[in-house]
Structures are given as structure tokens and as C-alpha cells.
């Protein structure tokens, strides 16, 4: 060191070492960290919605698991309310008294408390007066005081099924690593994104800090796996507390999952129960048992949804990709994973609707650098782009059903009229890959189609006054949900919107024929009632006229007597062989015949194609009707035999 350099100068020189600006440091986020910060896109917007989504994801995983082994699903879902003291004991926290009451958000001054109590007293007084006057009185809920922002509610969600179960060593990664799962592939499944129970675990870690517990066993397995774990959100890896094998005496197979989360049962009770009811509708071969357990017995709920059929749909099979639905990255991945050696075999066996002759034509169109026997490993990046371009431009047969971006989809629909506890107007029930969709109904393609694109009046349906049920289920290898929350399908996809409209219209056409028959039956009853109403008066009037004519006939000279037929009729009247009751019976039969002929004519004009159930006897043309005319100074009464 130079003798002229002071220690102070040396320190200054060292302090001038450049430091990296914090804003320029490159940061990375794990998938778990991303979804923890953006939990709303997975359906975890708030505590109430998080409770609903947790129950929903566990139920759907259970159904997929049972269906994968063709087992009739039996799913038990329990939501247990945990009070504050119990939750604190679970996490090892000791309850303590408040020292500074004013520090808390729910603090209420004496003046504010007196004002609140006075307001409640006035409300009770008004209700008492209304009750004394006989007016309808709403039951006043018990006063709960002031609820603070930090007063959270906690619940243990337990879901047990009889499904496939999970391999012992795979359980940690299946629950503790986001975007890992068994449902990736091109087939119809309820789940797609590898989130499900993992998001429930992330929400549990954020709201309670408690781990998730999994019990699982596979068919013919002598042991049961038990695992308690949470997730390292920053690294997206499982943090295993316990992972052991236990004895499985009952040879049970399936999974039981327990997770403790913050939630809100009060605000989402109806949504959760509505979801369970609709799930029982769309999966009639499953049996559900739902329980809500609380320390307050009056809040407990137990609902069993029994199985209504033992017939299960076949297990969805993984299908191959349609050429028009693949992108460049997918083509590269398929080439890397295929066992085929040359280009011809790859095109023919890795895609649907490409036959050998079609594949040869495609290769010929790609250019002189391509040949059927060309090795896949020799394809250059430019040649892969050429294949992708041709897939987008060439014409391919559509897969079965309707098609959107190369993915097949099927729309199932049903329309109903009437029913108990059904409100007037349109009652829309939406399903996608056998999942009930309860949120964002106004933006969904089914709702918009039913409201704006169906002319209900043309099907004899009153959109505002009738009780209309609309059930639409869309199944596909790729449901174009808006967001990962799987809450609705957008109205911007023309192919799906057109298919939904056509399906509903076909249901309405069938329903219209039933409605027309009911209208016809109602009008027939009304006509019959109106005609029968006049039978006694008409019978009495006719009989009195005949009686008078019969008496006149007895005292009339031969010149003014009636002919043989008329005279015979009047003789029977005078001898009481024809009575008022006889005429009434004949007239009632005539009304029945006229009413039937009018109904038949109405059905013909309305275009009802179904044949009448009654037997029709057509009289021969040569038969002549026998008639009797009874003449009077005022009218002529004609009777047909």
C-alpha cells in the first residue's frame, strides 16, 4: 500500500463496487406459486367459493377413479364445521382473553351498542304489532352482534370413494406437485389441468397451515397407504410428514382424503347442495351420501342420493389426434414419443382419419424432399413446419359427432314442461363432461341460445308463464372452458352454439306434439262440458213438444194425422215407451259422437301424425240414413236412426 493513501480512502474505494439493481434480478415462479397468487382462476375466489370448489374437485376425482375400473361409484362427502377453540387446539394454539378490546375490528362502543339494541327493539315491536293485526310476520334471526373481518370459519372436508386407489409411491407427487396427474391425454375426462385436490392443499396451506391426509388402497392389495403431506409452494414439491403402509383387513379399495380449509358454509350452502343434486342427475349410476356436521344439531344436514340404474357408460378411451387440431409443438412431441420409424407409418397410425392412400397423397403434396420411407429422425425443423402447414390447409374427414378445432363433441339435450317446485320461465341446467356448471350462467352458450335463439311460441310454449326445464350436456375430448375454473363455455364458438340450438329445437319439436295432444284433450273436454250443460234443457223442451203433439194426435181427424213413422213415434211417447230419460241418453250419445268427429278433424288439421287410438267404422256409401221429420207450426224436428 502506498504510504500516501489513507485508510479512509481505501474504504471509499471498496464501497464503490457496483451492486445489481433489485429490479433487474431475474425471478422465477413455480406453478404452485403462480396458482397460489392467482387462485381465483382455479375457482378459489373467496372462502365460500373455495369450500364449494374443494368439495366439487374431490367428488369429481372420486367419480373418475371409480369409473376407470368400471366400478359403480359410491361417494361419501362430509363437511365438518370446526369452531375456533377446536381449530386452535389442532394447530397447538392456546386461547387467550382479549386485553385491549379497542384494538379489534369488531369493537363496539357503548353508545353504538345502545343504538343497535334500540333498533332491534323497535323492529321486534313492529313485528309484534303486525302479528296482532294478523299480518304475515317474518321470523327475526337472533342477534349475533358485530362480526369482525378476522373471524374466519374453518371446515374439515372428507371425501371417500370405492375407486381405483393410488400406487403408494405416487401419492406424494399426485397431491404435492402442481400440474402433474393421470388425466393428461386425448379422451373425455372431468379433469384436465392437474389442479383439483392440489389447489385444495394450496388453499389449506394458505388459510390454515394444516397438511392434507390421504388413505388409499388398490384392488386385491393387502395394505392401505396412509400419507400426510403439505406442499412447498416455492419449489412445487411435496413435503411429506408421514407415508406408511397399514394393514387393510377389509380389503377396501379406493381413496379417502381429508383437508382442513377456511370456508363459508352459510353463503355457499345452497350452491353445494344444488351441485350434489345435479351431479346425481347427470350420473344416475352413482350413489352419493352428503353430510354437513356441526356442533349445533339444527344445522346438521344428511342427504342420500340413491343409485337409479346399475348400467354404467363404457369407460372413455384415449383417442388419436385429428390432423387439423395439432400444432407444431405437438407434432414434435408425437414424433419423439412414437414407435413408428418412417413418415408413412407415422401419419397413418398416430392420427385419426388418415388412411394409407391418404397419407401417401399428403406426402406427395409435401414436396420432393419427402418420401414415404423417410426416417422420422431425419426431419428438419423446416420440414416439420411444412407438415404443420399442410395439416392446416388439407381437407380431412371429421371425427364422429360435431367438430370444433378438430376435437369431436356431442350435445345431449332435454326440454320439460311443468313439475313441482319449478319456477315460471326458463330453468336452465348445464353440464360439461358430466360436470354441473353453476356459475357464470349468463355468459354461457346454453343460456344465450335458450334466451335469444329459440322461438318458444312456435312450439306452443310460453317462455314467461310456462315452467320450462332445459337440460344440455356437452361432452368432448376438449371442452373449451373459459378459464381453469371450469365454470362456463363461451358463446363465441359457432360450431357449439349451432349444435346446442339444433338439439334444443329437436326436443321442442317432440314436445310440441305432446302439447298439441294435451291442448286437444282440454278443448275436447271443454266442448263436451259445454254441450252436456244444455242436454237437460234441450231434452225437456223436445219432450214437452212431443208430448203436446202426441195429445193433439189423439183428438185430430184422419186428415190432419201424422204419417206412419211419425205416428208411431208419438204413440210411443204417449205410452211412455219414450221418456225424457230416453231422449237424454240419446242426446248424450250424439254429443259424444259429434265431439269425437270434431276432435278427429282438429287433429288432422293440426298435423298430428299419430293415428287415433279409437277404432273407426266407416259406413258404406250405399247405406241411406233413416230419418223421421216431426213437423210443427214453429219448427221441424228431424231424428236419425
**Model confidence at 1: pLDDT above 50:** no
| pLDDT tens column, 589-636 | 877 777 677 666 666 655 544 444 444 444 554 545 556 666 555 555
| pLDDT tens column, 268-298 | 999 999 999 999 999 999 999 999 999 999 9
Give the strand pairing for 435-437 and 407-417: unpaired
State residue 639's pLDDT score.
Answer: 60
pLDDT class of 183 with cuts at 50, 70, 90: low
| pLDDT tens column, 6-22 | 544 444 455 555 565 65
State residue 525's pLDDT score.
Answer: 79
| pLDDT tens column, 79-109 | 999 998 899 888 888 877 777 877 877 778 8
Beta-carbon contacts of 386 under 8 Å, excluding residues fewer than 6 positions away, are: 366, 367, 370
247 vs 252: CA distance, rounded Å: 11
User: Does 399 or 254 have the greater pLDDT score?
Assistant: 254
Beta-carbon contacts of 570 under 8 Å, excluding residues fewer than 6 positions away, are: 546, 549, 550, 553, 562
State residue 184's pLDDT score.
Answer: 47
State residue 267's pLDDT score.
Answer: 93
189 vs 382: CA distance, rounded Å: 35
pTM beyond 0.85: the answer is: no
State residue 463's pLDDT score.
Answer: 92
State residue 636's pLDDT score.
Answer: 57
State residue 423's pLDDT score.
Answer: 92
pLDDT class of 3 with cuts at 50, 70, 90: very low
User: Does 3 or 526 have the greater pLDDT score?
Assistant: 526
Number of CB atoms found within 10 A of residue 191's CB: 19
Q: What angle do CA 313, 217, 433 make, to 5 degrees?
A: 30
**Model confidence at 371: pLDDT above 70:** yes
State residue 17's pLDDT score.
Answer: 56
Number of CB atoms found within 10 A of residue 289's CB: 16
Amino acid at each position: 500500500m502506498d504510504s500516501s493513501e489513507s485508510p479512509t480512502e481505501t474504504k471509499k474505494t471498496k464501497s464503490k463496487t457496483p451492486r445489481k439493481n433489485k429490479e433487474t434480478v431475474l425471478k422465477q415462479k413455480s406453478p404452485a406459486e403462480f396458482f397460489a397468487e392467482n387462485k381465483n382462476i382455479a375457482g378459489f375466489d373467496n372462502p365460500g367459493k373455495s369450500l364449494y370448489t374443494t368439495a366439487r374437485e374431490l367428488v369429481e376425482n372420486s367419480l373418475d377413479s371409480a369409473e376407470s375400473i368400471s366400478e359403480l361409484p359410491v361417494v361419501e362427502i362430509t363437511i365438518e364445521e370446526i369452531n375456533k377453540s377446536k381449530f386452535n387446539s389442532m394447530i397447538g394454539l392456546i386461547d387467550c382473553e382479549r386485553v385491549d378490546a379497542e384494538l379489534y375490528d369488531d369493537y363496539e362502543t357503548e353508545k353504538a351498542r345502545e343504538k343497535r339494541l334500540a333498533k332491534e327493539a323497535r323492529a321486534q315491536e313492529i313485528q309484534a304489532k303486525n302479528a296482532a293485526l294478523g299480518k304475515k310476520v317474518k321470523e327475526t334471526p337472533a342477534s349475533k352482534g358485530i362480526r369482525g373481518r378476522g373471524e374466519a370459519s374453518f371446515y374439515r372436508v372428507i371425501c371417500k370413494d370405492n375407486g381405483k386407489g393410488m400406487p403408494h409411491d405416487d401419492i406424494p407427487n399426485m397431491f404435492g406437485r402442481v400440474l402433474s396427474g393421470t388425466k393428461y391425454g386425448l379422451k373425455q375426462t372431468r379433469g384436465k389441468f392437474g389442479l383439483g385436490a392440489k389447489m385444495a392443499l394450496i388453499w389449506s396451506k394458505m388459510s390454515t397451515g394444516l397438511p392434507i391426509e390421504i388413505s388409499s388402497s388398490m384392488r386385491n392389495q393387502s395394505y392401505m397407504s396412509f400419507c400426510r403431506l403439505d406442499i412447498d409452494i416455492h419449489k412445487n414439491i411435496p413435503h411429506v410428514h408421514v407415508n406408511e403402509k397399514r394393514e387393510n383387513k377389509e380389503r377396501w379399495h379406493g381413496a379417502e382424503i381429508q383437508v382442513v380449509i377456511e370456508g363459508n358454509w352459510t353463503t355457499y350452502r345452497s350452491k353445494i347442495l344444488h351441485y350434489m343434486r345435479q351431479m346425481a342427475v347427470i350420473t344416475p349410476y352413482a350413489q352419493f351420501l352428503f353430510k354437513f356436521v356441526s356442533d349445533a344439531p339444527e344445522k346438521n344436514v344428511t342427504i342420500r342420493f340413491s343409485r337409479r340404474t346399475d348400467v354404467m357408460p363404457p369407460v372413455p378411451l384415449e383417442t388419436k389426434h385429428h390432423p387439423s387440431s395439432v400444432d407444431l409443438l405437438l407434432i414434435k412431441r408425437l414424433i419423439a414419443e412414437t414407435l413408428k420409424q418412417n413418415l408413412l407409418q407415422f401419419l397413418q397410425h398416430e392420427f385419426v382419419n388418415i388412411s394409407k392412400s391418404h397419407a401417401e397423397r399428403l406426402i406427395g403434396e409435401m414436396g420432393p424432399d419427402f418420401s414415404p420411407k423417410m426416417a422420422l429422425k431425419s426431419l428438419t425443423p423446416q420440414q416439420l413446419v411444412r407438415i404443420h402447414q399442410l395439416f392446416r390447409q388439407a381437407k380431412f374427414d371429421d371425427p364422429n359427432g360435431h367438430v370444433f378445432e378438430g376435437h369431436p363433441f356431442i350435445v345431449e339435450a332435454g326440454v320439460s314442461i311443468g313439475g313441482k317446485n319449478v319456477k315460471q320461465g326458463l330453468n336452465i341446467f348445464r353440464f360439461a363432461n358430466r360436470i354441473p356448471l353453476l356459475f357464470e350462467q349468463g355468459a354461457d352458450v346454453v343460456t344465450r341460445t335458450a334466451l335469444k335463439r329459440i322461438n318458444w311460441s312456435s312450439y306452443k310454449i310460453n317462455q314467461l308463464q310456462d315452467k320450462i326445464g332445459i337440460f344440455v350436456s356437452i361432452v368432448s375430448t376438449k371442452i373449451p372452458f373459459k378459464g381453469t375454473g371450469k365454470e362456463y363455455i363461451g358463446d363465441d364458438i359457432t360450431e357449439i352454439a349451432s349444435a346446442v340450438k339444433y338439439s334444443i329445437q329437436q326436443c321442442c319439436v317432440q314436445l310440441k306434439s305432446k302439447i298439441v295432444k294435451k291442448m286437444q284433450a282440454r278443448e275436447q273436454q271443454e266442448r263436451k262440458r259445454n254441450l252436456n250443460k244444455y242436454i237437460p234443457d234441450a231434452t225437456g223442451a223436445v219432450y214437452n213438444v212431443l208430448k203436446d203433439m202426441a195429445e193433439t194426435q189423439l183428438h185430430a181427424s184422419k186428415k190432419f194425422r201424422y204419417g206412419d213413422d211419425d205416428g208411431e213415434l208419438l204413440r210411443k211417447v204417449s205410452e211412455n215407451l219414450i221418456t225424457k230419460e230416453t231422449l237424454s241418453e240419446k242426446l248424450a250419445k250424439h254429443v259424444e259422437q259429434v265431439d269425437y268427429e270434431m276432435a278427429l278433424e282438429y287433429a288432422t288439421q293440426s298435423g298430428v301424425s299419430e293415428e287415433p287410438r279409437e277404432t273407426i267404422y266407416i259406413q258404406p256409401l250405399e247405406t241411406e240414413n233413416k230419418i223421421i221429420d216431426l213437423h210443427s207450426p214453429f219448427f221441424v224436428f228431424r231424428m236419425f236412426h
